[in-house]
Structure 1
């Protein structure tokens, strides 16, 4: 049987509740205003405090005076009394500070995650998520959800897998984890929209298009990659067709289906250069013909076939070197290619940009700028000069570099 505290009187409950609540703020308390007291409560409070007249119905009481009266009445301080009557006293200020620290740690972790630092455009995604707050108010649940989103983003562009297959492979066998309407799907699609500088999809069709752009369920025949001077060793169909085209001074266009089943095929172990624009490939063939060194084109944002080929070349020992446009989107494409394939930048430093701008002093504005992970000063230079430089402007310099790696 629980023994009630001698001061746990129904008529004084409003007082003890007010004291408990004020002490639970975690801040210094000197006075407490009680909730409304009935006549019996006013009489009980007057007796406790030794007053010669009844207090108001909602009195403001000195906490020190109340503490002294309670000590006299039962030999325990008021903090012990309200704890015995109403339960433990909280420290809401410390709890708020702890929650703030947990939130700050969570967003710091996200902003510093390898997936985000490799493609700094995602910092915009981080900012949006932070502004919209935690999932269900819980740092732990939010971190778990974000970890799953980062796992998916790290695996994209996918290799043409259907969305349920991708989800099952990456997310503990849950083939529905990325279904339309799930929080996780929304997080990943928002990140992809930021990366590709696209509108946030607002229909099933636009969401499907964005997933497709990230290599999910790509058509194995329509996803192709263009290359010149690329000679695979081996007797498989990809090796043979690549050599025939390179030896004839022609480009080769390989489908994702071909790259997935190349047969006997080993890529070149030397440098392979990568450009963003097909026009650089055309200029290379015009200058070098069948002596053209290996050159792969992303044709803007790389599709699944491009990433598949570049990863295959890297696995076979090729050293990948990437060049793209000096504009906002070009920097994001470059960061994406470097992050997904292990390529290194090729003439993509701030000094290269400044030298290139001198060739086009009246070039177009570079648009939305996001940091370049390989050179922290590059975007600052672009923001200062506000001039975009497309690859064709520096094509002669790129071809001079390629001349050092000609075949035969």
Structure 2
């Protein structure tokens, strides 16, 4: 179909432009309003509509009347003519819904990503990311940045490498995590959520947060406490661990030793992990040289703890984790399990309730409670009772478990 030149005239351009804008809204259009028409534009509109006088400079026109006038000249309707003169008509309502669908899909992907679902406290970080909006207003750009951030979070804690070296290993770009960048900010806010800390406000606090994540840390002072580990082999680490186990003592292993020596290959099919050194100390006191293999995270695990546990897990050893029943204890447990594939050890809602029943002392408050991925009832139960059960309070149950291992 060819649009007559009479309809293509410049004096009717405001009419087609306004029609194009309204049709592109994606909703039915019954009338349009034209504003600021000059004399020649008013004359052209009067001629098109067959008016006996010029319309005012601001005039409302029914689309049905336009259709009738256009049909006489072009055997078509005003929408078709508008599209042929001004170009394809969009659908802003449809496009807006599609953008909303894409954004919703992005946030759903983030909330269900294994890094986030494995550590539910990061749902708070995901909500914070959503509140801050899209990167450059783009879903694809935002997803690319988030994929990088999640890759970094999955690789933390690091094993003491400088930040640039760590960024190279994870992202193939030594500057990807440079201070002040969008990506480093995303990662550090996530780490702050994990540690229940305020986001870092300056370069010193940002360095401290990276340090707590095992980046550029001191490989000599970063240690993990272990007892009862008797690895095979004749390397220095294996001999040292066997020597102290045979003596009935714990051994503090440095990150440097773990990095420089072969991964310990222990004959035990199970290794038991506790949050608090008191449990390890009482186990040694009770079992001495017969102490089952134990590793202590000493609160939030540093890179030496995670490196040792991962090394043990790679050899087929099953890791069993127990920690405090309080808000931070749940976050630490989720972190250790997510990073090392450890299994919960007496960490269910029923274990928590049993600990409450046995308590003969004032019970502290649990603090901020987040979900426990291994037991969907645990967080709810703890909120209902509003009390913490610390590891030291149930240590006798843990020692009974360990004693049973020694007797079997």
TM > 0.5:
yes
Aligned equivalents of 2:21, 2:311: Cα separation in 1: 65
Cα distance between partner residues in 2 of 1:182 and 1:149: 12
Q: Give the Cα separation in 1 of the matches to 2:3 and 2:70.
A: 18
**Helix, strand or coil at the partner of 1:134:** coil
Indicate whether 1:237 and 2:231 are aligned: no
Note the alpha carbon deviations across 1:170-192, whole angstroms, 9 max, x for none.
Answer: 11x21101101111111111111
Equivalent residue of 1:320, what SS? strand
Could you tell me how far 1:307 is from its partner in structure 2? 0.7
Deviation at 1:3, TM superposition (A): 9.4
Question: What does residue 338 of structure 2 align with?
Answer: 339
Partner of 1:352: 351
SS at match of 2:141: helix
Contact preservation (8 Å) 1:269, 1:317: no
- 1:268 Cα deviation from its structure 2 partner: 3.1
Give the Cα separation in 1 of the matches to 2:76 and 2:325.
74
Partner residue in 2 for 1:132: 132
Matches of 1:352 and 1:266, distance apart in 2: 32
CA distance in 2, matches of 1:309, 1:50: 88
Q: Residues 263 and 312 of structure 2 are in contact (CA less than 8 Å); yes or no, is this contact kept in structure 1?
A: no
Work out whether residues 24 and 92 of structure 1, in 8 Å CA contact, stay in contact via their aligned partners in 2: yes
CA distance in 2, matches of 1:42, 1:377: 72
Partner in structure 2 of residue 17 of structure 1: 17
User: Paired residue for 1:74?
Assistant: 74
8 A Cα contact 1:235 1:263, kept in partner = no
1:123 corresponding residue in structure 2? 123
Question: How far does residue 99 in structure 1 lie from its aligned partner after superposition?
Answer: 0.3
Secondary structure, counterpart of 2:253 in structure 1: strand
SS of the counterpart of 1:135? coil
Residues 6-405 of structure 1 correspond to what in structure 2 (within 5 A)? 6-171=6-171, 173-263=172-262, 265-360=264-359, 362-405=362-405
Change in CA separation of 1:133 and 1:70 when aligned onto 2, cut-off 3 Å: same
Deviates more, 1:398-407 or 1:120-129: 398-407
Quickly say closer, same or farther: Cα 1:362–1:66, change in 2 above 3 A: farther
Is residue 23–residue 29 contact of structure 1 (8 Å, CA) maintained in 2? yes
Alignment partner of 1:358: what SS?
helix
Rounded Cα–Cα distance in structure 2 between residues aligned with 1:343 and 1:325: 16
Alpha-carbon offset, residue 407 of structure 1: 8.1
In structure 2, C-alpha distance between the alignment counterparts of 1:266 and 1:140, rounded to whole Å: 44
Cα 1:109–1:153 change in 2 (3 A) is same
Q: TM-score, normalised by structure 2?
A: 0.96
1:4 CA displacement: 8.1
Structure 1 25/297 Cα, relative in aligned 2: closer, same or farther at 3 Å? same
TM-superposed deviation, 1:209: 0.9
Query: Contact 1:229/1:294 (CA < 8 Å) preserved in 2?
Result: yes
Is the alpha carbon distance of 1:60 and 1:263 closer, same or farther for their aligned partners in structure 2, counting shifts above 3 Å? closer
String of CA shifts for 1:3-54, please: whole Å, max 9, x gaps.
9843122222222211111111000111101122111111211111111222
Shift of the alpha carbon at 1:86?
Answer: 1.6
Structure 2 unaligned regions, length at least 5: none
Supply the distance in 2 between the matched residues of 1:4 and 1:294 (Cα, whole angstroms).
90
Once the two structures are overlaid, the 10-residue window that deviates more, 211-220 or 327-336, is: 211-220
**Conserved in 2, the CA contact under 8 Å of 1:362 and 1:387?**
no
Does the aligned pair in 2 maintain the 1:268–1:313 contact within 8 Å? no
Cα distance change, pair 263–112 in 1 and its aligned pair in 2 (3 A): closer
SS at match of 2:226: strand
Number of equivalent positions: 406
* Cα separation, 1, equivalents of 2:247 and 2:7: 100
Structural RMSD (CA): 1.7
SS of residue in 2 equivalent to 1:137: coil
Q: 1:102 and 1:35 mapped to 2: Cα distance?
A: 37
Q: How much has 1:265 moved relative to structure 2?
A: 4.5
SS at match of 2:71: helix
CA 1:4/1:299 → structure 2, altered by over 3 Å: closer, same or farther? farther
**Residues 236 and 265 of structure 1 are in contact (CA less than 8 Å); yes or no, is this contact kept in structure 2?**
no
* SS of equivalent to 2:406: coil
- Is the CA contact 1:5–1:85 (under 8 Å) kept in the aligned structure 2? no
Q: Distance in 1 between matches of 2:234 and 2:263?
A: 5
Measure, in 1, the Cα distance between the counterparts of 2:198 and 2:5.
64
